[in-house]
Amino acid sequence: MGQLASKATWILSGDIGVRIIGFLTTVYLARTFGADGYGVIIIGLSVLGVGLWFADLGLNTLGTREVSKKPNHTYSENQIFSAKVIMAVVSFITGSILIWIIFYENRTTAIILQLFLLAIIPHSIQIEWLYNGLQIFSRITYSRILQASIYLFLVFFLTGPNELIYVPVFYTISVTIAALFLLALYKNRKSLNLFEMNQGNLRILISDGFRLGLGSLFAQFVILLPPLFIGYFLGNSQAGYYGAAFKLILLVMLLDRMITTLLLPNLSRIWKNKRKDAVYHLNNLLKLATAFSCAAALFLYYGADTIIPLIFGDGYSKSAFVLPILSFFLPATFANSIFAYGLIATGHDSDYLQSAMRAGIAILFLLLFVSSIGNLSWISFAVILSEITIMLFMYASFSKVVNIKIQTPMLQVAVFMIVLMTGILLSANQYRVSALVLPSLYLVILYGFKILHKQEFSWLKKRLFP
């Protein structure tokens, strides 16, 4: 358990470090370039996210799996590496053509988006998948923090309000340095040759990776698509307002990362040996995750009018209107993570894929329809509905595998949250006080009414500090 905790700590510390440094970069960019310029950055990063998926096609996951089962692997490290670089080039060329078709009337935006897309190439030579397979997580942590730090340094010291075009260039430089850093540490790097891949092997390898990675694409629709649709239908500034609010959601989702990193890594082992124990762990985890995510949602809901201008400036007043809506994303995504991870950990990958595909198709049409006819508030509500849709599809599959009792505890937690919110809304609102006091008051109420129990907190302590 100690070794597992050490590995999980490296993963989590890297993620926390990157999120915090990235958030500082976000604040600087948002304040420097305003909602319109920051909106272009958000759209560019979303374009890069979509491009990265098509460049990867599940190859990272496949590569990690193949390295971890050496010497009985199906594909070599060189084959994975070669396939990633080839697919990155194809994705960059295809994406560049689509960018100029869609944004042909806005040359400046098209150039910036294409420069962001260029980062696909250095991303393809990153060998995090190899270190994941070898379980050398410390080097991945160093690499991620190095990339985030270099990016923050470059944009902070070398960009001004009229130098937006340098932002994607600096991002690509930071990714390139981090990728070269990992390559330099790999003793067998000379074995990574781009010219030993034949066409037949490439086709089979990509096909295998595609099946592994398809589910992640549909699951990421709710994060990747809204900025693209908002930017296209409503304009760059609206994408900037949305991006600022959603960055706060992503920052709070560090708690979600903590759950999946520290509390669930041995779920598959427990499930295989003692299924009753696995159900017990999942019940505790789901109740605590729901309670804490609702508390965080309360903080963002009532603190938006203070938090947004304090962090991003007075020019982001529309973000303060969007954040209370998006705060409800947190309970849905916390529960969704548990159901999705639970399906994978218990060996039901196909059920996860089917659920993600069905939800993803529904979400695609929902977001596209609402974006074409609605405003920023409508789209924010659609994002919440999209995440709830994914959660329900995942739960429908998960409940067939694990007999987990979620209805009563989740309903109780939700009811107390709604009652508390309604009471505050009907009283004289003191937003600063409410935002600070409400989350703690909410958890105390849940404990006082025995929705949360002492043994569940003891269970959490044992999991975090074994």
Place of tokens 């996951």: 61
Report the C-alpha gap between 311 and 251 in whole angstroms. 13
**What pLDDT score was predicted for residue 156?**
95
- 352 within 8 A of 393, measured Cβ to Cβ: no
**What pLDDT score was predicted for residue 235?**
92
Report the C-alpha gap between 170 and 143 in whole angstroms. 16
DSSP-derived 3-state class of residue 70: coil
pLDDT above 90: residue 272: no
Q: Which has more confidence, 332 or 422?
A: 332
- Looking at mean pLDDT, say which of 88-102, 192-206, 296-310 comes out highest: 88-102
pLDDT above 70: residue 196: no
Q: Which of 209, 210, 213, 217 is closest to 363 using CA atoms?
A: 217
The DSSP element (H or E) to which 270 belongs, if any, is helix 267-273
Q: 236-245, 266-275, 327-336, 367-376: which has the minimum mean pLDDT?
A: 266-275
Report the C-alpha gap between 215 and 228 in whole angstroms. 20
pLDDT tens-digit readout, 60-84 = 878 887 787 666 667 778 888 888 9
Mean pLDDT of 407-414: 72
Mean pLDDT of 403-411: 68
Mean pLDDT of 49-56: 91
Q: Round the average pLDDT of the chain to a whole number and report it.
A: 84
- 40 within 8 A of 112, measured Cβ to Cβ: yes
pTM reported for the whole predicted model: 0.89
**What pLDDT score was predicted for residue 378?**
95
DSSP string over 385-418? HHHHHHHHHHHHHHHHH-----HHHHHHHHHHHH
Report the C-alpha gap between 147 and 179 in whole angstroms. 9
**What pLDDT score was predicted for residue 340?**
85
71 preceded by cis ω (within 30°)? yes
Instruction: Give the list of residues 6+ apart from residue 354 with CB closer than 8 angstroms, or none.
Output: 397
**What pLDDT score was predicted for residue 145?**
94
DSSP-derived 3-state class of residue 253: coil
Mean pLDDT of 258-264: 63
- Looking at mean pLDDT, say which of 173-187, 189-203, 251-265, 432-446 comes out highest: 173-187
- 12 within 8 A of 262, measured Cβ to Cβ: yes
Instruction: Tell me the pLDDT band of 106, cut-offs 50, 70 and 90.
Output: confident
HSE on the CB side for 422, CA within 13 Å?
6
Q: Burial code of 434-450, b = ≥16 C-beta within 10 A, e = fewer?
A: bbeebbeebbeebeeee
**What pLDDT score was predicted for residue 415?**
79
**What pLDDT score was predicted for residue 181?**
94
Report the C-alpha gap between 13 and 261 in whole angstroms. 10
Q: Which of 247, 249, 224 is closest to 368 using CA atoms?
A: 224
Report the C-alpha gap between 223 and 390 in whole angstroms. 12
Q: Which has more confidence, 353 or 260?
A: 353
Q: 25-34, 66-75, 223-232, 455-464: which has the minimum mean pLDDT?
A: 66-75
Report the C-alpha gap between 288 and 322 in whole angstroms. 26
Q: Where are the domains of the chain?
A: 1-197, 218-466
Instruction: Tell me the pLDDT band of 1, cut-offs 50, 70 and 90.
Output: very low
pLDDT tens-digit readout, 333-392 = 988 888 888 887 777 878 888 888 899 899 999 999 999 998 999 999 999 999 999 999
Name the DSSP letter for residue 261: I
pLDDT above 80: residue 212: no
pLDDT above 90: residue 112: yes
pLDDT above 50: residue 277: yes
pLDDT above 60: residue 5: no
pLDDT above 90: residue 441: no
